[in-house]
Chain A
Amino acid sequence: MSTAVTQKSRLRSRFGLAVLRKFFAASTVSGPLFGLIVIFILFSLFVPKFFTFRSVSGILNAITLTGMITVGVTMLMITGEFDLSVGSVMAIGGYIYGTLSMQGQPGLGLFLAILIPAGLGAINGLLYVTTGIPSFIVTLGTKYFYRGMLWVITAGTMLQTVDRLPIYSVFNGRLNALNNLLPQANFRTSLLWLVLMVLIFQYILTRTRFGNHALAVGGNAGAALGQGVNVKRVRVLTFIITGMMAGFTGVMLFSQYYTVRVASGDGLELSAIAAAVVGGTLITGGAGSVWGALIGAIIISTLRTGVVLMDIPFIPADNFEAIVGVTIVLAAILNNYLRKPS
């Protein structure tokens, strides 16, 4: 019976759907990339003013903050965990950097805006590995706790500056070298930082021992443990990375808006999870890529821009959220189909 089954599946794999499936399953990024290209072409054909540098740079600028947080969240999701506290940690990073840079110490501010979030990430990770409570619940708790602490420390006051320090444009200024070349373009330096981080973490994920262990822990923690991987260490380190990236996103936030509020970044954790899933990360862990997640974030931003520009009379532009919702579920179904053995 089993030979009949294998013959049948071999036959099937030679034709049609199975060939496509194999093609898209071979790479974690081909699916999202293909999706983005299709969406982009459709909008370019049917939506006026879509295919301009103005809207393209707008799409990309809109993702730099979410995208930066998504880099860490994706690494974590690949190990099979969630961090719902990233929005709160980002606000904390923004306050630390904002306060110290306004006092003339941007270097120290940058350092602490990454170090303290790293510590908050370590708290998330250690709580998870020592108690065994699902990370979803642990970080749901710390999400409120961290933001609550920020309320207490800042007394709820917004931080704002009128000083346009040159250091701010390093992290999130206008990218004039590029903007002067392209008509109506409005790229920001944050995009370069995002691309840099995506490259670094994609490298770590696919080309280092740590990345290999992260994939293994997400795919089958028992096997990873059996093969001598220090599963707890991998998990705590990934939470630390996620915290650091959230802190750095806070630095970029303040550099762009010169403002940070206690409520800044609320909801970003879900946008990051959405981008990761649309970008091919398996929600149960073990598969995914950082640059796939970047494409996922771009897909969501493209949908938003496209729907707004379409200006459909009886559907308000806010309704793009419904489209994002459909996209997330479709992407999750596709990921499952591609990654799970038949």
Chain B
Amino acid sequence: MDEKRVEHGRNSLVWMDSITKKFGTITALKDVNFGVESGEVRALLGDNGAGKSTLIKVLMGIHQPTSGQIYIEGKPVSIRSPRHAREMGIEAVYQDLALVNLMSIGRNFFLGREMVRQFGPIQWLDIRRMEDITRKSLHDIGIEVRSVHERVGSLSGGERQSIAIGRGVYFGAKVLILDEPTSALSVAETRKVLHYIENARERGLAVIFITHNVHHVYMVADSYTIIRQGRSVGTYFKGELSEDDIADLITGDREV
């Protein structure tokens, strides 16, 4: 057990070392350690306002940590922006922050990474090529869409998640960050999304699964990091704790 825990550290794929984040006088995060390995699904658990999204926004480069250091594949990095995070292979699959509902599937797939053709100073989007790749790469990982022209807003929650996951896989992400990916889904859709997550893990991707509900993640996660009131309660591996134990740690009904 201890041996396995040792593997999370500076040499992990992602390691966030004693991250502190203050907003003015408010301390949102205090000395939080968090990491994830390739081929691992890591749950990030905490009640609303515990600091989960602040921690992830630090990893995404949306916030800069007040103190602490992030290591990617053992190298210290400072992540300046979401674009910078993505260049390092960190891909957000946020429920509301990953896709533009008013845009088509094809345009969403390549958002921020559009393919263009150029003639002198004039450039234009290579729309047909982007749509072909979208169709093909979604098909390759088992996602069928009616049409890549369809607006994302008309898809179900599960379909939206799957497109964001498929996009991350296609663009060679090393880390997928999922924020409450199953919270608003039906049972059948949840099962599908969990299947895509397992699929991503099998491909060697690291998955960070953020949720406040342990029930959503218990089946699929390899390890759990629990944070409460901006501090890390601890990291546990599959089989160490029951679902109820974890729920108690999230709410603070039980101390470690």
Contacts and interface: CB of A to CB of B under 8 A. Distances in A.
Interface of A: 2, 6, 25, 203, 207-209, 212-213, 215-216, 218-220, 222-230, 282, 286-287, 339-341
B133 interface: no
Nearest to A231: B82
Nearest to A339: B102
9 contacts: A6-B156, A212-B111, A215-B100, A219-B101, A223-B96, A223-B99, A225-B62, A226-B60, A228-B81
Contact of B102 (A215, A227, A228): A215
A340 B102 CA distance: 8
A68 B60 CA distance: 40
Interface string B59-75: 01010000000000000
Contact of B99 (A203, A220, A287, A340): A220
Interface string B93-136: 01011111111000100011110100000011101000000000
Interface of B: 60, 62, 81-83, 86, 92, 94, 96-103, 107, 111-114, 116, 123-125, 127, 151, 153-154, 156, 186, 189
A216 B100 contact: yes
Contacts of A219: 100-103
Interface of chain B, main secondary structure: loop
Contact of A226 (B92, B103, B113): B92
Nearest to B187: A2
A207 B107 CA distance: 11
Contacts of B107: 212, 215-216
Given A226-B94, A341-B153, A286 B83 contact: no
Given A216-B100, A225-B62, 11 more contacts: A25-B151, A208-B125, A209-B116, A222-B94, A223-B98, A223-B100, A224-B111, A226-B92, A226-B94, A227-B112, A228-B81
Nearest to A206: B125
Nearest to A222: B97
Contacts of A215: 100, 102-103, 107
B123 A227 contact: no
A258 B50 CA distance: 65
B96 A220 contact: yes
Of all A-B residue pairs in the complex, the 6 with the closest CB atoms, nearest first, are: A228-B83, A227-B112, A341-B153, A228-B112, A219-B100, A219-B102
Contacts of B92: 226
Contacts, number: 91
A7 to B, nearest CB: 13
Contact of A209 (B82, B83, B123, B189): B123
Contact of B111 (A2, A223, A230, A339): A223
Given A212-B111, A341-B153, A224 B100 contact: yes
Contacts of B81: 228
Given A209-B123, A212-B125, A228-B83, A220 B101 contact: yes
B154 A286 contact: no
Nearest to A286: B102
Contacts of B113: 227-228
A6 B96 CA distance: 22
Given A286-B102, A341-B101, A209 B96 contact: no
Nearest to B116: A209
Contacts of A227: 82, 86, 98, 111-113
B144 to A, nearest CB: 15
Nearest to A25: B151
Contacts of A341: 101, 151, 153-154
A212 B108 CA distance: 10
Greatest chain B CB density within 10 A among A219, A222, A340 is at: A219
A224 B112 contact: yes
Contacts of B123: 208-209
A287 B112 contact: no
A223 B160 CA distance: 13
Contacts of A213: 111-112
A254 to B, nearest CB: 30
A324 to B, nearest CB: 27
A225 B82 contact: yes
Greatest chain A CB density within 10 A among B98, B112, B124, B186 is at: B112
Contacts of A282: 102
Greatest chain B CB density within 10 A among A25, A207, A339, A340 is at: A207
B98 A216 contact: no
B201 to A, nearest CB: 22
Nearest to B155: A341
Nearest to B154: A341
Given A212-B111, A230-B83, A287 B124 contact: no
